[in-house]
Each structure stands twice: as structure tokens, then as C-alpha cells.
A and B are shown apart, each in its own frame.
Chain A
Amino acid sequence: MIENEEFIKDFIEEARTHIETLELELVKPNPEEMNKEEINNIFRAVHSIKGTASFFNLTKIVELAHSMENIMGEIREDKFKLTSDIIDLLLASNDCLKSMVEDVVNSENYDIEKFVEKFKALKDNPEAGVIKEQTGVIKEETDSNEEINDTEIKKNKPSFGEDNIRVNVSLLNILLNLASEMVLGRNQLIRAMEKHRKNIVGMDSILQNIDHITTELQEKVMQTRMQTVANVFNKFPRIIRDMAKKLNKEIELTMEGEEVELDKSIIESLGDPLTHLIRNAVDHGLETVEERKQLGKNSTGKVTLKAYHESGYVNIDIIDDGRGIGVEKIKKKAIQNGIVTCSEIEQMNEHEIVQLVFSPGFSTVDVVTDFSGRGVGMDVVKTNIEKLGGAIEIFTAPEKGTTFRLLLPLTLAIIPSIIVEVEGQKFALPQVNLSEIVRIKPGDHNKKIEHINNSEVLRRRGGLLPIIHLADVLGIKREDSESLMKTDSTKTIRILVIKMGSKRIGIAVDKIHGSEEILVKPLPSFIKDCKCYSGVTIMGDGKTAMILDPDGIIVKANLHFNDTVNQKPPKENFEELSDLLTEYQSILLFKCSGTETMAIDLSMVSRVEEIKQEEIELVGNMEYIKFRGDMLRVIRPENHLQITKGSEIYKKYYVIIPKLVKNPVGILIEKILDTVHIKIKLNNEDISTKGIVGSTIINNEIVLLLNIYELFEMVDPKKYAPEKLSLTEKLTILVVEDTPFFQKLEKDYLEDAGHKVYTANNGKEALDFLAKNEVDMIISDIKMPVLDGLGLIKKIRADKSLCHLPAIAVTSMTDESHINEGLEAGFDIYEFKLDRTRLISVIQEAIDHRRSLT
């Protein structure tokens, strides 16, 4: 069978070109006068085919190519003259090679003996006469051979390589440039036609059409340049293996997200930095086997390479579970190598000290090894990543490990941006960095800029956001800056909240013009020194505008980021590191008629409708509304839960339509407050009442998280009460879920049904738990930090003592491919969050399924 089947297409394409070269060279007129160069071409072509074929273990192709190569070698060294007879033989062999390559799966069944023998005979007996006699025979045979091959090919259509063609990269680059210019042209056209859209009949739809096609064209052209990170990742298993041997360490490499795609140019420039980081992790990061044993760690060190999308960037994490980087050690080295002085380091906080690793001339390892530790590197890695428009972050905890995180832009050429204006000048700000826009009206007491000495800050999301003025950073004279007060409090101020990795700043501007897809052009080298810009663009009106670089602005504005709440640098232990990585939860905040702030997880909300008082109809003592042509019962939570009731009658209400529920009932509320995206620390002890999952504090207010399943059950016990299942046995179940809300909910359900429940916050915790305790079943989320559900189940299925455990995946990722992925990884049942009755009833199914397998 063929080895390395996934690359076979590439082989076929490559071999085809070689065979073509061969043929072209061979059929040139006057073969006797062939020069060295041409003979060399033939030799190289056969040689390449041989080389690649041997990689796939295609012995027959290798053998034939080898014979051809031999003869060409002799000719090259002038031992032979290239007669037309030899050319005939070569051509015949080439044809056979062609058939074999096209029909690669069956290539082992081809008969090549006759060619090989002829070549051999030729070599042993280079007299022209003999050859002549023999080649006559060959000719006949090859003819018949060809016929056979032809029919075979027809019968057995080659299934590989049909849908790919080779395209020159420079052509792709030209296409990309043209597509980019096209986007620009479209922007200009749309802007110019804006006033006439309505006046000219049909213009509107034409413009829309051009708009869509251009966008799609540009996306597709961009896609042609996209490659998976597997292209760089694939060389690491080998590197790790070699290093492990040489350094006498046991290392396990895990790679995730190899399918994530990045622009070709980025992929290409990623090889060196990644190799460097991996080597560092293995060489400096991981301890030797003995050291690990002494520390009570698993003797096999783990290195994880993980690529994933996050807010418009592709992140690549390089994680090791080695010794971590000690702050004291960094301090010592930094002073030793003269990077900072003692007094300087006293002033620095932990986060800043860790960043010193990226300074030029820094190396912590005491011994210089083959692989790393020559004192060059991390600074180069950092510069290289920044050149790509990316960033690098480091999280480390002594004895627990180090994580390097690369943040990379998807592509370089076209980016969605927001156009802003200060003092009459327009600038483009890449949207990837923008997290929100805040407008501050004069006289608004809830939102106002406050001062700390001369610096301005804004209270935002429970923290203080440093505010800088774009005009000040860029050195534009502000008309309103005569007074010491930096902000003119009589004007409306717009603030762009920028997020760069873990840093947040607010940039104040005069006007915001909306967003535009802009084409990034490189900065002229005359203004390379300005840190605040990352490029130039031409806007829809044909004028140029500078593209702002938030990172550079932070540097220029001289902002120092400290250990603040927003930033949360990694602390001493790994638990907090994992806390840093926990899943965020989106929740909807609302108020019923009472005073409490209520919340519901957004993943449970199908939609929110506004209705008027008179639209609510009474049937008996139940309230109904019309919703999409149907009757929908609505309930007021305050009538069922232990919360305060207001007596006012409002003119309008909102109805939350829940999803993932059978027989949905609308929830009538009075006011929608906000939706927030936060990590929730759930307190389920202080406020414990039926229908409420628990309480948490958001923006200094107590918020009650609604449990809609319990609420519905209270409203209509008959319809929603979980069926009491006749369980023969009470099970011990481990629930693995990182969102406290869902964790609590699942635990409640299962406990209600009579099971004993343990919880774990991620896959790793679950494995640790399983190592010490016995359970009957696992219910796990898929998306989790540290080790996700798929990773967990793979580990469980691979472990002899655990593989019998039934497992249910419970998740909100509900498309077909995810389900299949989950089931393939080893889950018995794949359930959607979070249908109570289903959850209880599938438990038995999962048990049965697992039993049938084992």
C-alpha cells in the first residue's frame, strides 16, 4: 500500500512535470548533438521522480526510473553516445512511467522487467549493433504495452490530481494586487455614485451587485494564498524527536488546529520564530527525566502547539509544562547581561520583568547547547512577529510551565478599518484592534472623563481606561487645548477603545466616519520612523490616509501597563493561569417589574421581541401573545419566583423567546439593560431559590441568573417536570464544564434525578480526578481551556483503565461537522445544551452504546 497517501497528489503533479520535461528533451531534433545541459535536464528529471517515488515506497517506479537514470548517467559521462535507439527506449520507458504515475495505486502491478533488462543489456554490452537488434524488439513491445496502458487508464480513471493546477506565486500576487485595486475602485465608485443612486433607475442594484462581486472576488483571491499552519507545524514532530534523543528528555508533542489557515507570506515567515520557540521550550523549558521525577511530575514532558482563531487574529500557543521562567532568574540575568541596572529593576513589576526575555542579548540557560542558548533569539523572534503585524505574549509560572502566544493577522493586504478624524485630518484604524466605541456627551454624569493629575481616565467595565488624544500623540495642534484641562467638556467626545492583547486604551478623536475596507500600502521609507503608523491607504475619495498602529501609539504615548485587574498577569500557580483562559459567557441583563437585575445566558435566547401592553391577551388566568402567527404563552417571572413585584402597568414590554426548550414559553420582562461578555464567578449559596441558578456581581450590582428550565417547571409542573426515570442504579457522574453556570445547571439536573455528581473545570482537572476516583460516566463540554472535551475523550479512550466509561458531550456547537468530530473522538452521545429531559434520558443510551462496544 502507498505510504504517506496525503501527499500523493503533490507527487503526481510533480512527476507529471518531470515526465513532460523528459519527453520534450528527448524528442528534440538531432539527439546526437544534444548538449550537456539538455542531458543534465533529463538526468535530473528522472532522478527527481525516483527520489520522490521512493518516499512513497513505489518500488516499480523507483526501479524503472533508476534504470533510466543509470543510462543517462553513463551518457552524461560520455561513456555512451545517445543514439536514436536509446532515445526510443527512453521514450518507451518514459511512457510506461507516465502510465504508472497516472495510475499510481496500481503501479506495483505494472510489468517493467523488459525495460529494466534492456537497459541492463545495453549497459553491459554497449556495442551499437546489439542494441540495434534489441531495440527493434523493444519497439514492438512498447507499442503493445502502450495499448494495454491506454485501455487500463480508460478503465481505471486516475482519481488523483485532476482538480489542481500549478500556478506561479507571482501571478497570484498580481491577482491579489489587482483585486485590491478593484476594491479601491469599488469604494471610489460607490462614494461617487452615492448621490445618484436614487436618480438613475437601476443604479442601486448595479452598485450592490458590483459591491458584492468585488468583495467575493477579493476574498477568493485571498483564499488562493491561504495555507494551513500544518505546513509549518509538520516539521516539528521530527525536530522534537531529534532533540529529545540528543538531550535525553522524554517529550510528547501535541498539535492542535493544524487546519487553521493563514496567508502564505505569513506561513513562510513563521517557520523560524516557531522553530526557535519550540527549541527553547524543549531545551530550556522542559526538565530532564530525573529532574521531573524528583519534582513529582510525569517523566514525559509535554509540548503543545495550538493554533486557533480569536477576535480576528490567529493565535498560536506554544505551551510547555516545564520549569517555567523564574522572575528572580530573569532579574539576575538581565542585570548580569547589562540590559537593566539594579535600580531600574527595582522599579519594575513582574509583568515588565518577564518581558525582559525579549530584550536583545538575553539568555537564561547557563550552558550553551547545540540547539539554543547563544544569547540571540527571543528579541529576533519578537521583531519577526511584529514585522508580520503580530504580537507575542508570554505567560509563565515557575515549575508549571511557560506559554508563548503569537497573535497573527489573517492576512496582510486588505483590512476592515474605521475612519476617524482629528482636527480635520482623517486616519484609518484597523478594526481588529477596536473593541468598542464610547460617546461622551457633555453634562452626562454617568460617563465622564476624570483626571489623575494630568492624565485622563474613564470608568469602563469596572476598571479605569487610560484616555489619550490622537491629536496629542501625533503632535497635531489642538484648537481647544489652550487651557490645562485636556478635554473640552462642552463638546461631545468619541473614544475608541482599543484592545491589544491584554492591553486596553481609549483613544479620543473628534469624528468617526464609519468603516471602510482599506488596502494597505507600505509606508514610504521616508516616514518609517513614525511609530504611530503601520501603512498608508487610499480612501474612497481618492485621498491618502495614514493607517494608525495602536501598538505604536501605545509606545509613542509612553503608556506603562501595570498589573491591573483588566490585565491579570499570570500568577504563581497554574490554577489562576487556567482561570485566565476560562471561557467567557455572554449574558443578557434585564429587569422585571421588581428591582432585581436578572440575567439569562444568551445561548439560551432565541430572540427578544418588543410588544405593547394591549397585545397581551388573557385566556383564563394565563397570558398569551401572537408570535409568528401562533399563540405563545408568556409568563412574568416575578409571579413565580421569590423576587419583588412592581405594581405599575407599562405601555410596552419585551418578551424573551428561549431556545433549546420544548414547548417554549415567552418570558415577559420590563426592561433590557445590557448584554455583557464576561467571566462569571457564580455564587450559588447566598441566594438559593428555585428558578435561580445563583447570583453574581456585575458592575457592582447583584445579578440573579435565571434557570429557565426550573422556572417553566414551576409555571406548569405537568408539562415541564422531568420524567421520573426508573433507574435501576444510581450513577456516579463526572461533569466537566468550565462555565460555572452550566456546570451548576447540569449538576442540579443530575442530582435531582438521583445521581451522585462530581465536577471538574476542564479536561485536565477531569483526568486528574479520574486518576484518583472511580466514576460511572462522564458528561463533558467541548470547548474548554487547558484541555478541551475532544482532547479529554481521546485521552480517556486511549487509557485502558478508563476506556470503558460512557461519555456524553454537551455543547452549544451544534453543526454536523462538530457532531461527527465529537462522535469520532469517542463520545457516545452528542447533546445540545441544555435540555433537561433529554440529558436524563440519554444517560441510559450512552451506557448501552458503550456496552455494545466493549
Chain B
Amino acid sequence: MMDKVLTFYLNNNLFGIDIKLVKEINRNVEFTPVPDAQSEVMGLFNMRGQIVTIFNLAKMIGIKDFEQKINTLTCIILKSLDNDQNQVGFAIDKPGDVIDVDRNECELPPANVSIIESDYIKNVVKLDKNLLLIIEPDKIFKV
């Protein structure tokens, strides 16, 4: 059994997301910060007339924060559910490749990964050179 996974980099860590959940990747996203909102929300972005909430994924899963100076980002926009008005995206450093992942290579997060992190990480894939963390968007971006 093979799954297609979109990989991306956050602060030199390799992450992946099930490609079926991804709507598109946007470069040069000009977003508007929302003062007074929870700190995980980086801002809002106009995607062809629809409002997308951009999250700071790095901060949420506890790795080093972005440098906040830049106002343009590369973002992965997720597909929204049919009955959900909310469009969600998150900022990444740069996108990687789309790779095939064998389910047999997947493992649940090992026991020494902290609870918060293991909540966000669905699987760990043992690639040849390094480990790939597959994130679980449902848990990360719940309202």
C-alpha cells in the first residue's frame, strides 16, 4: 500500500502531509495580520475572494519560530470540508517533493516524543537518509 505525501521544510526539519488534504501551494502570499487574535494565527489572506486563515505551524508544533519581518510567505492551503466555511493554510519554509510512502515504513510517534508534539504528528516515516514526520491537520487546526 502506497500513499502520496507532500513534503515540506520547516526550519530544516522535513515534514509531510497527506496530499489528498492539500488544495494548493501558494507562493508570495500577502497576508494581513490580525492584532488581538490568538498568537498561532499569523493572519488572513485573500485567495480569489475567499478568506484563508494562515497559521504559524512552526510555533504550534514547538519548533523555532519564523522571523516575523517578512510579510510574504509560502503557504500550503488545505482543502476545506464541504460544510465548513473556514479555509485554512499554514506557512512553510519551502516545499519539498511529492513522495510515495509505504505504510509499512510508518510508525506511531515513539514514546519519548512529548505529548503535544505527538498529538500533531500522525506518523513517523523512516526514510533512507532521515525521518519524515507526517502531520495531522485535523488535530492541529481544530476550531
Contacts and interface: CB of A to CB of B under 8 A. Distances in A.
Contacts of A184: 49
A93 to B, nearest CB: 46
A530 B32 contact: no
A474 B34 CA distance: 9
A427 B114 CA distance: 40
B46 A543 contact: yes
A475 B53 contact: no
Interface string A303-340: 00000000000000000000000000000000000000
A528 to B, nearest CB: 8
B49 A527 contact: no
Contact of B36 (A426, A524, A532, A545): A532
A536 B45 CA distance: 10
A543 B30 contact: yes
B38 A542 contact: no
Contacts of B37: 526-527, 529-530
Contacts of B49: 181, 184, 538
Interface in B3-55: 30-38, 41, 43-46, 49, 51, 53, 55
Nearest to A474: B35
B130 interface: no
Contacts of B38: 526-527, 529
A294 interface: no
A521 interface: yes
Interface in A142-171: none
B35 A545 contact: no
Contact of B45 (A473, A475, A476, A544): A544
Chain A at the B interface: mostly helix, strand, loop or mixed?
Answer: mixed
Nearest to A521: B51
B34 A527 contact: yes
B85 interface: yes
Given A524-B53, A524-B86, A475 B32 contact: no
Given A527-B38, A527-B41, A544-B51, A522 B32 contact: no
Contacts of A527: 34, 37-38, 41, 53
Size range of the chain A interface in the assembly? 20 to 34
Contacts of A532: 36
Nearest to B31: A544
Nearest to B53: A524
B111 interface: no
B35 A524 contact: no
A173 to B, nearest CB: 14
Interface in A540-557: 542-546, 556
A546 B85 contact: no
A476 B87 CA distance: 25
Contacts of B32: 425-426, 543-546
B81 interface: no
Contacts of A474: 35-36
Contacts of A530: 34, 36-37
A543 B87 CA distance: 16
A525 interface: yes
A526 B41 contact: yes
- Which of A426, A538, A556 is packed against the most chain B CB atoms within 10 Å? A538
Interface in B71-108: 85-88
Contacts of B141: 526
Interface in B84-143: 85-88, 141, 143
A521 B34 CA distance: 15
A425 B88 CA distance: 22
- Name the residue among B30, B31, B38, B44 with the largest chain A CB count within 10 angstroms: B44
Contacts of A526: 37-38, 41, 53, 55, 86, 88, 141, 143
Nearest to A546: B34
B143 A475 contact: no
Contacts of B31: 544
A556 B37 CA distance: 13
A565 B70 CA distance: 48
Interface string A410-440: 0000000000000001100000000000000
B73 to A, nearest CB: 14
A590 to B, nearest CB: 45
A474 B32 CA distance: 14
A198 to B, nearest CB: 28
Contacts of B30: 542-543
A536 B87 CA distance: 13
Interface in A167-211: 181, 184
A533 B33 CA distance: 13
B86 A525 contact: yes
Contacts of B53: 524, 526-527
Interface centre among A525, A532, A533, A546 (most CB of B within 10 A): A546
B90 to A, nearest CB: 12
A542 B46 contact: yes
A208 B11 CA distance: 50
B62 to A, nearest CB: 19
Interface in A481-530: 521-522, 524-527, 529-530
B44 A544 contact: yes
Given A181-B49, A521-B51, A525-B143, A475 B35 contact: yes
Nearest to A181: B49
A218 to B, nearest CB: 16
Contacts of A475: 35-36
A120 B38 CA distance: 75
A112 to B, nearest CB: 51
A687 to B, nearest CB: 54
A526 B34 CA distance: 11
Nearest to B32: A544
A476 B34 CA distance: 10
A453 B41 CA distance: 35
Contacts of B88: 526
A75 to B, nearest CB: 42
Interface in A793-828: none
Interface centre among B37, B41, B53 (most CB of A within 10 A): B37
Contact of A524 (B33, B44, B46): B44
A426 B37 CA distance: 16
A707 B30 CA distance: 61
Contacts of B35: 425, 474-476
A533 B51 CA distance: 15
B43 to A, nearest CB: 8
B46 A544 contact: yes
Interface in A646-664: none
A812 to B, nearest CB: 46
Q: Which of A526, A527, A530, A536 has the most CB of B within 10 A?
A: A526
Nearest to A535: B51
The 8 closest A-B pairs by CB, nearest first: A474-B35, A524-B53, A527-B37, A544-B44, A544-B32, A525-B143, A476-B35, A538-B46
13 contacts: A184-B49, A425-B32, A425-B35, A426-B32, A476-B35, A522-B85, A526-B38, A526-B53, A526-B88, A527-B53, A529-B37, A544-B45, A544-B46
Interface of A: 181, 184, 425-426, 473-476, 521-522, 524-527, 529-530, 532-533, 536, 538, 542-546, 556
Given A475-B35, A538-B46, 5 more contacts: A474-B36, A476-B35, A525-B143, A526-B37, A538-B49
